[in-house]
Amino acid sequence: MFGFLKKKSPKPEDVAPAVAEPTAEVGVPAPAAIDPAAAAAAVPAVEVAQPAAEAVAEVVPAKGEPAAVAETVVAPAPRLSWGERLKAGLARTRQQIGGGLANLFGLRKIDEDLLEELESTLLMADCGVDATQYLIDDLRMRWKRDRLETADQLQKALADGLHGIIAPLEQALELGSHQPFIIMIAGVNGSGKTTSIGKLAKYFQAQGKSVLLAAGDTFRAAAREQLMTWGERNNVTVVAQEGGDAAAVIFDAINAARARKIDVVLADTAGRLPTQLHLMEEIAKVRRVIAKADPSGPHEVLLVLDANIGQNALAQVKAFDKAIGVTGLVVTKLDGTAKGGVLAAIARQCPKPLRFIGVGEGIDDLQPFRAREFVDALFEPGAGAVKAGAEARR
């Protein structure tokens, strides 16, 4: 028990400093005004000192790192080329097609069974039955005619066949015919239509064109605000009305563009499902109103397609083409899907000019479609396939 009392005796000494604090407060009646001020000054001083110390603690190791750390900080500054971004964006489709080809060849030599499995691989990439049958027949002919034996040869033959299918889709959009050049843009909700308009505005500005946006999507909530945000980001005028008629908004935008001598008018429209015939009739009305504002317009009717929907894209092209006369396509979100083969299906069944493709969220990730770039990005060099085949033959 005495030991217990001895343990408690130091605690009063510890409490004594706590009692000394009130004495400090009492001992400062005269400097009472100084005490709160000093405390107030002391608190921010401590708060500022801590971040400063933390900042130093964070910065000093960074400076102490080798030059490679400085390079990683500067690395994001130089923008990747379009070819590099395209290759990165098509990684999932490339893995589906090119990777599947390497795995198939790694198991055995080229034969009819391998071609049948390759047919399944192409169908899974949403190339469609028509395009897949064409590619397999072309491969079979090349295999027998050219006596293909290696994966590299098979991959090159497949790439050449795919390029032959999609090359007719490569048609550049020419803007010099009219001023303003009126582009009507349609698509279902969620296809990336409004975002694509913002990216197109940036693209045309980079070509030295003046752009005006018409917020014709008066059906979807926040569509007007989203387009106005893109307008502010690109420093582009947006013609919009709160709750107004879509056709009236676009009509006013065309007149405003003509008065201001604007080069390009990008007219947004409300997202429509091709199965909703009454809504498709409304978008057809918008096209007729554009023709009233400018008898030669619209000069381009772009349909925005989400690559993730695969074969449903074909049904959308046919339905919108029937309603408004689609003259060009924009395929978005190729980076988020392994179904990039849908371009081959479109080329075989709905051969509309593919004006632009999108492979990312960046404002520069929507660029004109070039068939050779697309095929080159889709197929990696066959080193992996050759290695797999060599191991299989051991």
- Looking at residue 387, what is its pLDDT? 43
pLDDT at residue 102 in the model:
59
pLDDT tens across 261-305, in order?
A: 999 999 999 877 777 777 788 889 999 999 999 999 899 999 999
d(CA 365, CA 341): 19
Nearest Cα to 340, choosing from 379, 385, 382? 379
pLDDT in tens, 118-171: 888 888 888 889 999 999 999 999 988 988 887 778 888 989 999 999 999 999
d(Cα 200, Cα 265) in Å, to the nearest integer? 11
Model pLDDT, residue 380: 63
For residues 299 and 216, the answer to whether their CB atoms sit within 8 Å is no
% the chain with pLDDT above 70: 72
Min mean pLDDT across 3-7, 206-210, 306-310 is at 3-7
Distance separating alpha carbons of residues 84 and 331, to the nearest angstrom = 18
- Please provide the size of the chain in residues: 394
Helices 100-107 and 383-393, axial angle in degrees (round to 10): 20
Is the pLDDT reported for residue 34 higher than 60? no
Give the strand pairing for 237-239 and 211-214: parallel
**What DSSP string runs through 109-138?**
-S-HHHHHHHHHHHHHTT--HHHHHHHHHH
Residue 186 has pLDDT above 60, yes or no: yes
Mind listing the pLDDT tens digit for each residue in 201-246? 999 999 999 999 999 887 776 778 888 898 898 899 999 887 678 8
With bands split at pLDDT 50, 70 and 90, how would you rate the model's confidence at 91? Answer: confident
Distance CA 276, CA 119 (A): 35
Nearest in space to 306 (alpha carbons), one of 333, 341, 329, 344: 333
Residue 388 pLDDT class (50, 70, 90 cuts): very low
- Closest Cα to residue 348, out of 315, 314, 307? 314
String of DSSP letters for 308-359 = GGTTHHHHHHHHHHHHH---EEEEE-GGG-S-TTHHHHHHHH----EEEEE-
- 46-84 confidence digits (pLDDT tens): 333 333 334 333 333 444 444 444 455 444 446 677 777
pLDDT at 49: 34
Q: Which two tokens stand for residue 133?
A: 């049958």
- pLDDT for 325-370, tens place per residue? 999 999 998 887 667 788 999 999 989 999 999 888 888 889 999 9
What is the structure's pLDDT at 307? 86
Least confident of 108-122, 154-168, 191-205, 314-328: 108-122
pLDDT, residue 68, reads 47
Give Rg (Cα) of the chain.
32
Show the tokens assigned to 391.
């191991």
Q: What is the DSSP string of 50-107?
A: HHHHHHHHHHHHHHHS-HHHHHHHHTTSSPPPHHHHHHHHTHHHHIIIIIHHHHHHHH
